[in-house]
Structure 1
């Protein structure tokens, strides 16, 4: 499990992808269009799709995915209870390694939670 700041990780990933966006604009635009179309509201809500994406990120051990999808879930109004239920499924399907990344996801969730006064 990592102990880094997911908000900083997201920023670094976006900065590091800058040269690839310039070198391969069509491919990167294609990926962006695929993401937008895949995550759009439909028979499944955008929130449910983000929960699925986070689950895949956890079971594939992708810290960047955790950061991006936790951030999106906060914006979509996901609750901690919804997150926790999804994490239980990740652990069921992914075992011990998924449990380690579930812990990372909960740390990211807490760190990235909107601040309330």
Structure 2
């Protein structure tokens, strides 16, 4: 079992993102605008868009992506069942490596939802 903490990962990344905002304000403003527009409600709900973003993060094996998108999904009220179905598709499409990051997404969900279990 991995000992990494998604609360710690996202917290650490936020420090780096703050520096990028300070030193690359126009670039980060552009990225933030892109994210806001891409994630706003439309034909797809914000929840469905975050599930897609999580699936891409799992497929790309990006710890920060998994952490930030699971945290956003919790805020949007994702159910464990919705998360699990999404991770099933990730595993189907990405095989073994995606399965390993699907397990990490479950750990992130449990950690952010307050269901963290002690490491074995």
Same fold flag (TM > 0.5): yes
How far apart are the structure 1 equivalents of 2:11 and 2:83? Answer: 23
Mark the runs of 5 or more structure 2 residues left unpaired by the alignment. 116-120
Corresponding position of 2:98 = 98
How far apart are the structure 1 equivalents of 2:29 and 2:94? Answer: 32
Which segment drifts farther, 10-19 or 27-36? 10-19
Corresponding position of 1:67 = 67
TM-aligned CA distance change 1:3 to 1:114, over 3 Å:
closer
Corresponding position of 1:12 = 12
- Name the SS of the counterpart of 2:95 in structure 1: helix
Corresponding position of 1:27 = 27
Corresponding position of 1:49 = 49
How far apart are the structure 1 equivalents of 2:105 and 2:5? Answer: 11
Corresponding position of 1:81 = 81
**How far did 1:11 drift?**
1.0
Contact 1:74 1:114 in 2 (8 A): no
**How far did 1:17 drift?**
2.1
**How far did 1:18 drift?**
2.3
TM-score (norm 2): 0.91
For these two proteins, the number of residue pairs brought into alignment is 115
Contact 1:61 1:101 in 2 (8 A): yes
